[in-house]
Structure 1
Amino acid sequence: MRYYTALRRPLEFKRSLTVGLVALLLGVQAATATAKPAGNQWDYLQPDRDQVIASLNVVELLKRHHYNKPPLNDARSAKIFDSYIKMLDPSRSYFTAGDLAEFKEWRNQFDDFLKNGNLEPGFAIYKVHLERLQSRLQYALGLLEKGVDSFDFTVDEELLVDRENAAWSKDERELDDLWRKRVKDEILRLKIAGKESKAIEELLIKRYKNQLSRLEQTRGEDVFQAYINAFAQSYDPHTQYLSPDNAENFDINMSLSLEGIGAVLQSDNEYVKVVRLVPAGPAEKSKQIAPADKIVGVGQNNEEMVDVIGWRLDEVVKLIRGPKGSVVRLEVVPASNAPNDQSSKTVAITREAVKLEEQAAKKSVLNLQQDGRDYKLGVIEIPAFYLDFKALRAGDKDYKSTTRDVKKLLTELEQEKVDGIVIDLRNNGGGSLQEATELTGLFIDKGPTVLVRNSDGRVDVLADEQQGAFYKGPLAVLVNRLSASASEIFAGAMQDYHRALIVGGQTFGKGTVQTVQPLNHGELKLTLAKFYRVSGQSTQHQGVIPDISYPADVDTKEIGESALPEAMPWDSIRAAISPDMNPFKPFLAELKARHEARTNENPDFVFTRDRLALTQELTHETTISLNEEKRRAQQELIENRQLTLENTLRKAKGEEPLAKLEREDETTPHIEDKKIKPEDDAYLSESGRILLDYLGLQDAMAKTSSNGR
C-alpha cells in the first residue's frame, strides 16, 4: 500500500488499509441514450467489461473508505454532471443550450448509472463533445483558409474571455460567431507578439489540424478516464482514477512532478501551466521558468517545436520526458506578461534526475545591524522533507535525512555563536511525514507533533518521544504560499507549541492523506485521512496563518488548496496539548507595527505588493477588444506600468533602469546568477529583523520586571 501526504513524495504510515474490491458484475444494463446521437465516426467508442467492473470497484471504494463517505445520491449526481460538463467544455465553447437541455434529463441519474455499472450515458455525452469539437475545429480552419488578412481588425467588437459562467450559445450560428471572435483573438495576440501574417496562418492551421488528428485517435480509455474522474473528483480534488497507462507513471500522474525537468504542472483550459518548480531540479536551476508560466510548445533538442496548445496534460508530459542528459526545448509564455500578451521565449533544459544531495538542507549566516549592534543569525534552508529510505533499509549509517542534516547544521551554527535561527521553508512542497515529526522533535520537549483523523473517526497521534529539545534558542520560521503539507505540519507545530515566530505568507493548505488502491483496471487514488495540528486545527484549506504576514508573491485565489474545486473544508478537533502561555502574544502588536514601518518603503516589499495588485486588476477584466489599435494601446499601457514597477525597484537598488521589458530566450546566453547573500534577500532579512525585534522587546520587559523588584 502506498501513502502520500506531500505534493510529490511517499510517506510511511502506521497502518495499512484493507480494501475489499467488487469484482462481480451486478446485472449491468445498457442505458437508452436520449441525447442527440453522435455520428457513426465515434460509434467504436464503447465501454468494455473491464471498465464496467472498475467503475463498480471505484463506487465501492469511495463508499467504504473515502474520508467523508458522502452518499451517492441525486445531489452527488448533479455534482458529477456539472463536473463532467465543465471538464469537457470549461469555456462553454462547444456545447449548445440545446445539447445541455438534452443532457439534463440525466442530471439526477448518474448515481443510479454508476451503482449499476451503466457507463453508456457518460460515453454518449463524450461522443457529442467530440462531434462538437470536430465541428468547431473545422469551422476555424475554414476561416483561416480565407487568409489572416480577411479579418477586419478596425471593427469595434469584444470577446468575452471569462466564460466560466457565460450563457450557452443558443445554436450553431451563435457558436460560429463566438469562434470567429476566438480565431480573430488568436491572430491578434500573435500579431502583437510580432509574428507575420503568413507565419500566423501556418501556425494556427497546423495547430487546428493537429488537434483534429489527435481527436480522431480518441480511445475508449480516454472517455472512461474522463467520466470516472468527473465522478471521483466530485468528492475532493485529490481523489483520482488512473488508467492502466497512467498508473505505470505514478510519480508523474499522481503528483505531476515531471521526470527530467523538475516542474509541477497542471492543465489550465487549453494550456499547460507551471504550478511549482521542484527544488534543485533542472527547471529551477535554469532560472528561466516560473510558477504560472504557460508551456505552449515542446521541441526535442534541435528538432522543430511542436505546438501543444489544446493538448492533454499527459500528452505534453510524454513530449517533455526523455533520457537523462538529453535536451528539451520549451516555448513558454511568461506569467509576468500582460494577460493578452502571447510573447513567448524558448528555454533549453537538459533533462536530469534531481539529486537528493542538491535538495539537502543548507546553512548560511545572516549578518544584521540593529539598534546600534551587530548580530549574527543562522539560516537553515530546507527545500524538501527528504529521507533516503533505500540507504536506511540497507543499514547505511550515513543515510541522508532532513532531521540528521538540520541537527548537524544547528550544531555548526551554535559553534559560530549565532543569536538565533531562521528556518526557511519557502517553496517547500512537503515530503516525508516521518521527517516532519522528527524535525519538530529537535525544537520541542517530547510530545505530539501531528494528528491524523481517519475515515472511521479514529485519531492517530504521531509524537516525538525524545526527552528534551536539541535547540532551545530563538527561532523564526519563514513560509510562503508554496510551503505545503509536511512544511505546514512542522510550521503548525512550531506555532502551536509557541516555539517559533511564523512569518511570511499563508501556506498552501493541503492537509489530506491519500492512498493508491490497485483496481482490476487501473488504480484509484483516494483521500482517506486528514491532518490536524496539535492545537486541533486542520491544515486543510486554510493552511498556516503567519504571526507576521508578508505580501503574497502569487495570487492565493489562483494557487493553493482553496483554489481547487471541491477542496475539503477547514475544521478542527480536540487539541492534543495545552501549551504554556504564548510568549510572543504580548509583543505581536509592536512587532507588526515595526515590521510595517520598515517594509512600507522597502523596495522589494513595495514591488511585490504592487506587482500582485496589477496582476489581480488585469485578471479581473472579463472582456478584451478585438480592435487592433485599441488592443495595442492597451498592451502598451500595461507594459509601461510593468516597466515602471521594474524600474522603480531597480532605481531603489542603485541599478540602471531598463529602456524596455527584457525577454530572455535560448538565443540569449543565461548568465548563472551569483550567489545571493542572505542580507540581499529582503524577505529573509526582514524575518531576521523581526526575530531581533522580539529579542529586544523581551529583554526590555525582563529589565523592567527586574527593576520593579
Structure 2
Amino acid sequence: MLKKISPFLLFSLISVFGYSQNEDLFCDQVKALKKVIEVNHYLPKTVDDSLSTHVFDLFLNNLDENKRLLTKSDVTSFEKDRFELDDYIENNSCDFIDKYAMVLNERIENSKKVISSLESENFDYSGKDTLRFKPESKFIYFKNEEAIKRYWSKRLRYNILYTLVENDSILEHLQSDFKTLESDLKPKLIQKELCKLEELQNRLGSVDHFVKETFLNAYLHYLDPNSSFFNASEKEIFENSLSNDQLSFGIITSKNDDGDITIVHITPGSAAFNNGNIEVNDVIKSLHSNTETLETYCVSNEDVMAFTSDQNHNTIIFKIKKQNGTLKNIELTKTKTKTEENTVSGYIIEDKSKVGYISIPSFYSDLESPNGLGLANDVAKELYKLQKENIQGLILDLRFNGGGSMKEASDLSGMFINRGPLSILKYSNGETYTIKDSNRGALFTKPIVVLVNNYSASASEFFAASMQDYNRAIIVGSTTHGKASAQVILPLDVDGKLGFSKLTVEKFYRVTGKSHQAQGVIPDIILPNLYDGFKTQEKFIDYALANDSIAGVKYPKHKQLPIKQLKKQSIARINSNANFDAVKQLNQLIIKNYFELDTEYLLTLDNVYQEMTSYRDQWRTMNSPLKNHISNFTVKNTEYTKEVISYNDDKKTINQSILKDLKNDIYIEEAQTILQDLLNLIPLN
C-alpha cells in the first residue's frame, strides 16, 4: 500500500459538561487514528503498557506545560490511568477523557478567582518575599490552594515591576511615582492574565476540544515528533504554509499589548486590499460567517487564524474598529492570493566578483496538482535573470527553511547536477525507492555556497545533503535540524469529519546510504550561531526516530572541492571578527539567562530593576558590533526587478529595506567571501 503513495506528494514538514455526541466523536477519532497508524505509520508501536505510560506523560505535560494550573492532588488522581490508556484505546472506552477536561476547566476557573481577588489586595514590594527562577525542567505542580495564591501574587508583582522598568528606564522616576504608577498598572495586568486564561478556555472552541485534541496529539507524538493530529482549520493552515498561492482574505493579524487583534499586513491584490476599507492597525472586534460568530475579546490570534482559514468560512463579515474609534462591518470573500512568504527573489552581490543570492523560505508547491509549479520553478526564473547579469557564482540561503514538498527539493537539486540519484526513500516494510534526477543537464554549473542553520529542516536538508554528496556546493553555517522523515496528510474517515493525521510514512537517506536523521547535515564550514546550544534540533525531542544507515547507490560525484583550504581561510577570518565574537557572547548570555537561569533574589523594585538593566546593558554592549556593522560588498537588484518595482512606491520601500538587511547580514558576508575564495581557487574557464 505504501508504495502507491507518490514520493513527490510527501511533506517533510463550549461547556465541558454534557459530552454525549462529542464523546462519540472522540471515540470514533481514537478508533480511526489507531487504524490509520497501524496501516500507514513508518514504525507503528504496539498498543501496550509502554505506550500507555509514555502517552500519559506527553498528554499531562501538554495539558499544563508550565505547571501553572494543575495541583499535585490532580496529578495523583490521574495516575491511575498511567497503565490503562492502552486498554481504553483497545476497548474504545473514551469516558476517561471527561475528568481531564472537567478538572482543567475547574483549575482555570479557580485561577481566575484567585487572580481577581488579588485586585483588592495591597501588594508587598518590601522584599519580604523571594523571587525564584529555575529551568523549566524543574517546574513542579502546586501543593495546595495557598501555593496557587502565592504563585499568582508573586507573578503579578514581578510583571508589574518588569513592565514599569520597561516603560521607564530611570529608577529615580519609578521610585518617586511608584504608588501612582503601580495602582494604574495593576488592574491592567490582572485583566491581561485573566484574558490569557480565557484564551485557554476558548482554545479550539472549548476546553473539551483542547483536551481531546491534546490526547490525540500525545498518541501521535509518542510515535515520532513529526506526526500530528489536524482539525480541518489546522490542516488548511498547514497546507497554505506550503502553497505558493491560497484562497484567503489577504489579512495578517497579531495580538497587541492591549489584547486586541490588529491587522498588521494586507497582501497586495487580495480581497482586503481590493476592498479598500480595511487598513493596517485596524482592530478586529468580531468575525461572522453564515454559521458562526467569533468575538475576538480574550481570544488568541491562533484561533482567529483558524476561523479565517476555515474552508467553510469563505465569506466573513469583519467588524472593524478604525483608528478614529468608528466601527465598520466589512464583508469579504476569499480570493486566490499569492503567498508572500513563499516567494523568491534574486539579488546581485558585487565584491571582487559578481555573484547571485537567492533566499529560499520554504519548499512550497502547488498542492492542487502533483505536477504543479512551485519553488523550483520560481528559482529557475530568478536564475535566468541572474545569469543574464553574468554572475560567477551563487549563494542559496536555506536558513530557517523548515522544509515542504519533497518534489520541489528533488527538482531544485536536479537543476544543479547533470543527472543521477538524489535520495533513497525507505518504507515501513523495508523496501526502498531511489529518487532520481532524470533530466540530463544542469541549469547552473558555476560554484555554489548553501547557507544553513539549526532551523533548516527536512526538504532543505534533502537539498543540502544532495549538494554536499555530489561535491556540488560548499555547505556553510550550523548543523541542521536533523529531520529525515516524510509525512502525508491522511483523513481519519472518508469525508474528513473526524479530522486528519499528518503521519510519518517514510524515512529518506542520502545517496551514500547514510542518514542525517537526529544528526543533521554537518556543514563543510561551521559558523558561530546565536541559536547554538538551544537544543531545538530533532535529536533533543522525545521519541525522535533513530539514526541508521542503509546500502547506498552509485552516483556521479563531482571533483572534490577545496574545502580544507576554504575552511582554513574562513576560520582565520572568524577568529578575528568582532561580529562573530559578539554572536558567541550573545549566545552565552541567552543560554545563561533563559535556559540555565537558576537564581533567586528579594522581590523589590531595586532588584528587578538591577536584573533587567544588567541584562539589557550586557546585550547592548555585546550587540554593538553587529548593530553598527556595514559590509563592504554591494547588493543590488537585477535589471528585470528594477523595472518591475519602478512603478510601485510600496515595492520600492520594501526593496530598500531588503537590500539593507542583506548588506548588513554577517552570514551573507562570510558566505560571499567563501564563494570569492572558491572562485580564486577554481577559476572559471
TM-score bracket for this pair, using the shorter chain length: 0.7 to 0.9
Q: Which amino acid is 1:131 matched to?
A: E
In structure 2, the CA distance between the partners of 1:328 and 1:107, relative to structure 1 (3 Å rule), is: farther
Secondary structure, aligned partner of 1:684:
helix
Q: Aligned residue for 1:532?
A: 509
Aligned residues of 2:233 and 2:306 also touching (Cα < 8 A): no
CA distance in structure 1 between the partners assigned to 2:364 and 2:339 by the alignment: 8
Q: Quote the Cα distance in structure 2 between the aligned partners of 1:570 and 1:300.
A: 48
Tell me which residue corresponds to 1:549. 526
Specify the code of the residue in structure 2 equivalent to 1:181. Answer: K
Q: How does 1:425-444 map to 2 (within 5 A)?
A: 425-444=398-417
Q: 1:464 to 1:154 in 2, by over 3 A?
A: same
> Is contact 1:301-1:327 (8 Å) kept?
no
Shift of residue 612, structure 1, vs aligned partner: 2.0
- What are the superposed Cα offsets for residues 587-609 of structure 1, whole Å, 9 maximum, x if unpaired? 43332221122123334333333
SS at 1:443 equivalent: coil
Stretches of structure 1 lacking an aligned partner (at least 5 in a row) = 16-40, 272-280, 286-298, 330-350, 370-374, 394-398, 656-668, 703-709
Kept in 2, the 8 Å contact 1:367–1:679? The answer is: no
Which of 126, 131, 136 pairs up with 1:158?
Answer: 131
Residue 74 (structure 1) aligned to one of 32, 35, 49: 49
- Residue 364 of structure 1 aligns with an amino acid whose one-letter code is Y
Q: What residue is the counterpart of 1:634 in the other structure? A: 611
Q: 1:117 Cα shift?
A: 1.0
1:185, 1:408 → 2: CA distance? 53
CA contact (8 A) 1:262 1:354 kept: no
Instruction: Give the one of 97, 101, 116 matched to 2:72.
Output: 97
Q: State yes or no: 1:380 paired with 2:358.
A: yes
Counterpart for residue 347 of structure 2: 364
Alignment partners' CA distance in 2, 1:325 and 1:50: 30
1:259-338 map, 5 Å: 282=265, 301-302=282-283, 314-315=302-303, 317-318=305-306
Matched ranges for 1:406-425 at <5 A: 406-411=379-384, 413-414=386-387, 416-425=389-398
Give the Å deviation of 1:254.
10
> Could you tell me how far apart the structure 1 residues matched to 2:2 and 2:471 are?
33
3-state SS, counterpart of residue 554 of structure 1: coil
| 2:356 aligned partner, one-letter code | G
Query: TM (normalized to structure 1)?
Result: 0.72
Deviation at 1:316, TM superposition (A): 5.0
Match for residue 586 of structure 2?
A: 611
Query: CA–CA distance in 1 between the matches of 2:79 and 2:247?
Result: 38
Structure 1 residue 85 displacement after superposition: 1.2
* Aligned CA distance change for structure 1 residues 443 and 178 (closer, same or farther; 3 Å): same
2: distance between equivalents of 1:483 and 1:328? 38
List per-residue Cα deviations over 1:529-549 (Å, max 9, x = no partner): 122222223343333211001
Task: State the TM-score, normalizing by the size of structure 2.
Answer: 0.75
Q: Distance in 2 between matches of 1:650 and 1:208?
A: 34
CA distance in 1, matches of 2:124, 2:307: 34
Give secondary structure in 1 for the equivalent of 2:421: strand
Match for residue 583 of structure 1 among 556, 560, 581: 560
Contact 2:631 2:664 in 1 (8 A): no
Residue 666 of structure 2 aligns with which residue? 682
SS at 1:438 equivalent: helix
> What is the distance in 1 between the residues matched to 2:666 and 2:137?
38
Deviation, 1:630, is 0.9
Equivalent residue number for residue 673 of structure 1: 657
| Structure 1 residues 645 and 671: CA distance shift in structure 2, 3 A | farther
User: Do the aligned residues in 2 keep the contact of 1:2 with 1:515 (CA within 8 Å)?
Assistant: no
**Partners of 1:384 and 1:430 within 8 A in 2:** yes
Among candidates 189, 196, 206, match of residue 204 of structure 1: 189
Q: Is the 8 A contact 1:361 1:383 kept in 2?
A: yes
SS at match of 1:507: coil
**Unmatched 5+ residue regions in structure 2?**
169-180, 269-279, 287-293, 322-333, 633-652
- AA in 1 matched with 2:218: A
Partner of 2:225: 237
Letter aligned with residue 44 of structure 1: G
1:449 has 2:422 as partner: yes
Q: CA deviation at 1:246?
A: 4.7
Q: In structure 2, what is the equivalent of residue 129 of structure 1?
A: 104
1:326 and 1:154 map into 2 onto residues whose CA distance is 48
Q: Which residue of structure 2 aligns with residue 118 of structure 1?
A: 93
Q: Which string of whole-angstrom CA distances, capped at 9 and with x for unpartnered residues, describes residues 263-299 of structure 1?
A: 8999xxxx9xxxxxxxxx95999xxxxxxxxxxxxx9
What CA deviation, in whole Å up to 9, does each residue of 1:198-245 have, x standing for no partner? 443322332354456564983643332222222222222222223456
The residue number in structure 2 matching 1:108 is 83
CA 234–307 in structure 1, closer or farther in 2 if over 3 Å, else same: farther
Secondary structure of residue in 2 paired with 1:692: helix
Aligned 8 A contact 1:282 1:354 in 2: no
Equivalent residues, number: 597
Q: Which moved more, 1:41-50 or 1:149-158?
A: 41-50
**Higher normalized helix content (fraction of residues):** 2
Residues 259 and 104 of structure 1: is their aligned pair in 2 closer, same or farther, counting only changes over 3 Å?
farther
Corresponding position: 1:499 with 2:464: no
Q: Distance in 2 between matches of 1:316 and 1:609?
A: 38
Q: Work out the CA distance in 2 between the residues paired with 1:449 and 1:262.
A: 38
Alignment partners' CA distance in 1, 2:468 and 2:484: 16
In structure 1, what is the Cα distance between the partners aligned to 2:578 and 2:308?
38
Are residues 1:225 and 2:213 paired?
A: yes
Q: Output the CA distance in 2 between the equivalents of 1:141 and 1:447.
A: 66
8 A contact 1:90–1:164 mirrored in 2: no
Matched, 1:487 2:460: yes
Letter in 2 for 1:363: G
Take 1:614 and 1:694, find their aligned partners in 2: how far apart are those partners?
A: 34
Instruction: Give the conservation status (yes or no) of the 8 Å contact 1:421–1:473.
Output: yes
1:13 maps to which of 9, 12, 24: 9
Q: Which amino acid aligns with 1:571?
A: D
- 1:387, 1:248 → 2: CA distance? 14
**Structure 1: distance between partners of 2:18 and 2:550:** 51
Instruction: Map Cα deviations across residues 387-413 of structure 1 (whole Å, 9 max, x no partner).
Output: 4566997xxxxx854444444554554
2:101/2:207 contact within 8 Å kept: no
* Structure 2 letter corresponding to 1:638: Y
